[in-house]
Each structure stands twice: as structure tokens, then as C-alpha cells.
Structure 1
Amino acid sequence: MQANVKWVEGDTFIGRSASGHNVVFDAGHDSAAPSPMEMVLMSAGCCSSVDVVSILQKSKQNFTNVEVQLTSERAESAPRVFTKMNLHFVVTGYGVSEKHVARAVELSAEKYCSVALMLDKTVDVTHSFEVLEA
């Protein structure tokens, strides 16, 4: 996998993936785009969400929405790495089984989500969920 990041101006950069997609990053205080650390946090959420949605579809759960609410804590001083991260899944649907959601989240956390599993080597990554009736 390869990518390129180019400085635009100030604290703004554009990342370009090998697949040709562009992403804007902004590390300034009055930023117009997510910071690199926000992107890492959202990447963990997206990676795990892909797993959870796929597993729930395979288990034929009648869900209408899956959202992951991400919270994190960072070190007080530089480097301001993540020290804690929680991925809280909110699954909405009709008669969705808590057992199936728990299993989907567990499989993502322990086996499939490469981003969260990579971060888990140095960050206390936790997962939680709730099921809401549509």
C-alpha cells in the first residue's frame, strides 16, 4: 500500500491514496478539515463498522442503522498519542438480537479490524454497544 501527502498551505495537507482518492487534513487550530489524529480515530471506527455491518448482514439481522460513537483520551504531553479509545456501537433495527450484535463487535475487536487491532498494541481500546428498536 502506498500514499502521498502534499502540503497545501498553512497547516493544510492533501493526502492521495494509491487508488486515487484525496483526503484533506488540517492540523491548525482553526482547521477546515480533520486533524491526523481525528483521522486515525475515525479510521478505527470505520474499519470496525465495516466488520459489524458485514457480520450483521450475514446473520440476517434486520437493522436500519449502525453508528459508532468514538471517544478517546490522549497523553498530556508530546507526543500526544492516544492512551484510551472506546468504540460504542449503536445498532437500530427491528428485533435485532443483542447476542448477534455482541458477537459482531467481538469478532471485529478480536479478529478483523486491522486498524483497532494495530492501535490496541499501545492503546487501551475498548468496545461497547447498544441495540435500539426502530
Structure 2
Amino acid sequence: MAGHKTTTVYKGKMQFETDSPTGYKTYMNTGPDNGGDNEGMGPKALMLSSLAGCTGLDIIHVLKKMRVEIPHFEMVVEGVLTEEHPKTYHTVTLDYHFYGEHLDQEKIKKAVKLSEEKYCGVMEMFRQFCELKIGVHFITK
């Protein structure tokens, strides 16, 4: 059975260092109101970044197989938290932004759909606890 293992270490002043299974390290922290100094990502924001990273990797992989080049690609993920504790995301909006003059919009939409419906495990996990809203935007300059 496949899995992942990480180790997270308290570094002081509300900062934690966490590693990936490949050894890459990143930091998590909180703001001054909670005793931190914002020297790292917040855990909930890191979840949103994980969603973008997972689906983004899928989309680029599929587009490479389709031989589709994208000059610039961004994802904006916004989560809305519940008011009561424990505060969890009840709604997450994921907007894909593809930039370029001659984008193959049909193939890009197909790659996004494959990520959403078949490949992105993080997206499937998010669906277990929140409403997901997806938008695909094409921007020509």
C-alpha cells in the first residue's frame, strides 16, 4: 500500500519545520496575534496550495502528453472558513488562469476536467468536507 510520511518539528515562536517524503523542507507559522511571526505558511493556506499543486501537476502532465504548450498558467485558490471552532473550509474556489495568444482551449479544458474528475487526489479529499467551485479563464495579451 502506497503512502507518505512527514516529520514536523517545533522550532520555537510558533514555527514548525516540516519535511516531505523526498526531504524538501518548508515552514509553517502563525501571525503575531497567536504568538507567531508569520515566518512560514499557515497550515490551512498550505492545504489550499496543496490543492493547486496537485491539480496543476496533473494538468501540465496531461498537456505535455497532448503536446500543448502554455506560456503562463496560474491558479488562485480561496477558502472560506466557518465562523465556529474548529474553523474549517466550507467553500473553496479554484480558478485556473491560462495566459497566451494561441491557446488550445478545448485541450486545456479537457486536461482540467481529467484532473478534476480522475487524477487529483487532493481535490477528491477536499470534496469530502467542502463545496468546490471551479473556474477556467483564458487571458490573451
Considering the TM-score relative to the shorter chain, is it more than 0.5?
yes
Residue aligning to 1:63: 70
CA RMSD of aligned residues (A): 1.4
How far has the Cα of 1:97 moved from its partner? 2.0
Distance 1:96 1:55 in 2: 15
CA contact (8 A) 1:12 1:28 kept: no
Question: Unaligned stretches of 5+ in structure 2?
Answer: none
Q: Which one has a larger percent strand, Structure 1 or Structure 2?
A: 1
Question: Unaligned stretches of 5+ in structure 1?
Answer: none
User: Matches of residues 42-61 of structure 1 in structure 2 within 5 Å?
Assistant: 42-61=49-68
Residue aligning to 2:5: 2
- TM-score, normalising length from structure 1? 0.92
Dislocated runs of 4+, deviation >6 Å: none
CA contact (8 A) 1:47 1:114 kept: yes
Distance 2:106 2:21 in 1: 38
Number of aligned residue pairs:
134
Structure 2 residue identity aligned to 1:5 = T
- TM-score, normalising length from structure 2? 0.88
- Of 124-133 and 64-73, deviating more is 124-133
Aligned mate of 2:118, from 94, 102, 111: 111
